[in-house]
Amino acid sequence: MKKHDVVVIGGGPAGMAAAVAAYDAGCKDVVILDREPQLGGILMQCIHNGFGLHKLGQELTGPEYAAVYAQKVAQRNIKVYLETTVTGLTGDKIVTAQNRDGILKLQATGVILAMGCRERSRGALNICGTRPAGVYSAGTAQKLVNCMGYQVGKRVVILGSGDIGLIMARRMSLEGAKVEAVCEVMPYSSGLTRNIVQCLEDFGIPLYLSTTVIQVHGAGRLEGVTVAHVDQNCKPIEETTRYIPCDTLLLSVGLIPENELTRCAGVPIDPITGGALVDENCQTLIPGIFACGNVLQVHDLVDYVSEEAERAGAGAAKLVGDNIPIQAGISIQLGNGVRYVLPQTIRRTDEDVSLFLRVTQPFGKARLTVTDADRVLAAGKRLKAAPGEMEKLTVKAEMLKDAKGPLTVSLEVLE
Does 57 bind another protein (CB under 8 A)? Our answer is: no
Residue 198 binds to another protein (criterion: CB under 8 A): yes
Instruction: By CB under 8 A, tell whether 250 contacts another protein.
Output: no
Distance of CA 40 to the CA centre of its chain: 15
Q: Does 365 bind another protein (CB under 8 A)?
A: no
Pick the stretch among 85-93, 171-179, 233-241, 270-278 that binds another protein (CB under 8 A).
171-179
Stretch that binds another protein, among 21-29, 111-119, 133-141, 146-154 (CB under 8 A): 146-154
Q: Is 174 in the site for another protein (CB under 8 A)?
A: yes
Q: Does 128 bind another protein (CB under 8 A)?
A: no
Under the binding rule (CB under 8 A), the answer on residue 148 touching another protein is yes
Q: Which is nearer to another protein, 48 or 299 (CB)?
A: 48
Question: Could you tell me which of 109, 101, 96 has the C-alpha nearest to residue 33?
Answer: 96
The yes or no reply on residue 175 touching another protein (CB under 8 A) is yes
CA dist 46 and 242 (Å) reads 33
The CB-of-63 to another protein minimum distance in angstroms stands at: 4
**Which of 69, 11, 62, 68 has its CA nearest to residue 41?**
11
Q: Which of 84, 109, 137, 146 is in the footprint of another protein by CB under 8 A?
A: 146
Residue 64 near another protein by CB under 8 A: yes
Q: Is residue 67 within the footprint of another protein (CB under 8 A)?
A: yes
**Closest residue by Cα to residue 267 from 255, 276, 258, 254:** 276
Q: Which of residues 37, 238, 383, 404 is near another protein by CB under 8 A? A: 383
> Which range, of 79-87, 172-180, 213-221, 254-262, touches another protein by CB under 8 A?
172-180
Of 102 and 176, which CB lies nearer to another protein in the complex structure? Answer: 176
Q: Is 36 in the site for another protein (CB under 8 A)?
A: no
Q: Which stretch binds another protein (CB under 8 A): 1-9, 40-48, 98-106, 280-288?
A: 40-48
Binding flag, residue 49, another protein (CB under 8 A): yes
Among 2, 59, 263, 414, binds another protein (CB under 8 A): 59
Contact set with another protein (CB under 8 A): 44, 47-49, 59-64, 67, 145-149, 174-176, 192-194, 196-198, 202, 383-384, 389
